[in-house]
């Protein structure tokens, strides 16, 4: 009986340890957005510095959606404008429509909005 109890207890411990690990498909959307930002945007844009302290070629995206105006167009910040700018680029910004799909762009914008 003791051996049986030990096997059951060991099995329960293994199962409970397996349940505490986060499966790869459950990665936070903001972590994915952060990684997309680092891979595609960070070379030209800051996300953690305001425009006064940024030394990058593109405008700082810090507090992009809480600022009264967008950095370059001076229009009211809105998601649709940012989607178009990411997909099709701008004067100096390259287009990302062939590199990022709509889902990636939405995750990226969610990350930018969280900053």
Separation CA 78–CA 76 (nearest Å): 6
Domain count, the chain: 1
Residue 89 sits in a domain of what CATH number? 2.60.40.420
Domain extent, residue 96, equals 25-114
Segment 24-68, tens digit of pLDDT? 655 688 999 999 999 999 999 999 887 777 789 999 999 999 999
The H-assigned helical ranges of 21-98 are: 29-40, 79-88
pTM: 0.72
Separation CA 73–CA 33 (nearest Å): 24
Question: Cβ distance 75 to 81 under 8 Å?
Answer: yes
Instruction: Report pLDDT for 51.
Output: 73
Bigger pLDDT: 17 vs 45:
45
């Amino acid at each position: 009986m003791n051996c049986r109890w030990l096997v059951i207890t060991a099995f329960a411990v293994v199962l409970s340890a397996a349940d505490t690990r986060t499966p790869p498909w459950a990665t936070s959307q903001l972590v994915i957005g952060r990684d997309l930002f680092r891979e595609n945007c960070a070379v030209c844009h800051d996300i953690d510095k305001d425009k006064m302290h940024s030394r990058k070629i593109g405008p700082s995206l810090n507090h992009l959606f809480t600022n009264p105006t967008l950095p370059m167009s001076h229009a009211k910040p809105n998601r649709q404008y940012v989607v178009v700018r990411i997909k099709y680029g701008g004067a100096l910004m390259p287009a990302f429509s062939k590199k990022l799909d709509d889902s990636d762009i939405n995750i990226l914008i969610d990350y930018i909005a969280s900053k």
